[in-house]
């Protein structure tokens, strides 16, 4: 009997690949372009297609590839997959919702610390060795603020949002959360070998999070209507001087409204890991010194990728063991 072939078009961690190969699967990690993908899947009789954020799996590809039995997303969001259509066609769609929560939460806090202490600006300025006016820079970047005692608003209180809350509580911050599908979250804070401390956070209204928070971090999927959830009306409700962070989806923040709010000083700073036009973000976004930037790396830690690979492998093996 021929071995089942898996195409990990956006790659898979070596640990996940090893688990699958030891279970008898053939794992192909060659990256195929959108034009190459349908013919390669058909010629190789690929039954499992694994993607991350780069590869799009739309209706046209699904219709062209009758051999597919599983489409897997290494990560949380599946905006790049026509999930409902795939399921209509009898294709199993899987993802790894728990594997990257901690990594994304830590990146958010890296950006938050960077913004409140101007690290994204001072690091760039001090690399200009010939023009590093040390005393002037020291004066410019000496008005940072502390996180302790401030309020972090979390929009989207699933696994990532709740993981983020645990870091905020550990920093002595207050947490406000909004999620239309989550009434409360039980946050566990572990200290070495001790029994974890459990703190219950009840979600609040969207407007309360917008109007009360000192910082806001977004952790939601793209709405079905494709419209941003944070635009000019929502920004106007926020405190003046807020810091806004998006490590969720490009498109859920109106980037023009964001730039305008930064220009008017209503938004003090922003941090973006995702963008409207990946992989070619707006030059206006890239050149704005008040925005801390990273190239969509929220889940890109060694530990998270190992967990993602292992979780995908387990789900694939379970599916074909039925």
Catalytic residues: 249, 278, 296
Locate the DSSP E strands across the chain. 5-8, 26-28, 46-51, 70-73, 92-95, 151-155, 174-178, 184-189, 197-202, 215-218, 242-246, 267-272, 291-293
Contact (CB, 8 A) for 254 and 262: no
Contact (CB, 8 A) for 34 and 56: yes
Report which of 115, 74, 69, 99 is spatially closest to residue 215, judged by C-alpha positions: 115
Contact (CB, 8 A) for 56 and 11: no
β-sheet bridge partners, residue 253: 230
Token reading at 195: 């029994």
Token reading at 285: 């976004």
Token reading at 193: 């070998």
Contact (CB, 8 A) for 276 and 296: no
**φ and ψ at residue 196, rounded to 5 degrees:** -55, 140
Which DSSP string do the residues of 135-168 spell out, in sequence order?
HHHHHHT------TT-EEEEE--SHHHHHHHHHH
CA distance 115 to 291: 8
Sequence length of the chain is 322
């Amino acid at each position: 009997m021929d071995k089942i072939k898996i195409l990990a078009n956006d790659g898979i961690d070596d640990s996940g690949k090893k688990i699958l190969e030891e279970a008898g699967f053939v794992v192909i990690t060659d990256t195929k372009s959108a034009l190459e993908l349908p013919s390669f899947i058909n010629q190789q009789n690929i039954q499992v297609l694994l993607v991350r954020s780069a590869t799009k799996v739309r209706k046209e590809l699904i219709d062209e590839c009758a051999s597919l039995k599983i489409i897997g997303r290494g990560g949380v969001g599946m905006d790049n997959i026509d999930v409902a259509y795939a399921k209509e066609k009898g294709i199993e769609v899987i993802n790894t919702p728990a594997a990257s929560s901690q990594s994304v939460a830590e990146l958010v806090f890296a950006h938050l610390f960077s913004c409140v202490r101007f690290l994204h600006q001072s690091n760039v300025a001090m690399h200009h060795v010939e023009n590093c006016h040390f005393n002037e820079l020291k004066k410019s970047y000496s008005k940072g603020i502390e996180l302790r005692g401030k309020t972090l608003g979390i929009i989207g209180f699933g696994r990532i949002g709740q993981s983020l809350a645990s870091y905020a509580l550990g920093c002595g911050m207050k947490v406000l959360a909004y999620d239309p599908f989550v009434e409360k979250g039980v946050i566990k804070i572990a200290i070495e070998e001790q029994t974890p401390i459990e703190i219950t956070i009840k979600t609040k209204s969207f407007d309360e999070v917008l109007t009360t928070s000192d910082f806001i971090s977004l952790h939601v999927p793209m709405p079905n209507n494709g419209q941003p959830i944070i635009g000019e009306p929502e920004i106007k409700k926020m405190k003046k001087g807020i810091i806004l962070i998006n490590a969720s989806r490009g498109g859920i923040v109106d980037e023009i409204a964001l730039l305008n709010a930064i220009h008017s000083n209503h938004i003090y700073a922003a941090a973006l890991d995702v963008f409207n036009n990946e992989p070619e973000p707006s030059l206006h976004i890239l050149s704005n010194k008040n925005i801390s930037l990273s190239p969509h790396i929220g889940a890109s830690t060694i530990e998270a990728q190992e967990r993602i690979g292992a979780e995908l492998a387990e789900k694939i093996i379970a599916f074909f063991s039925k």
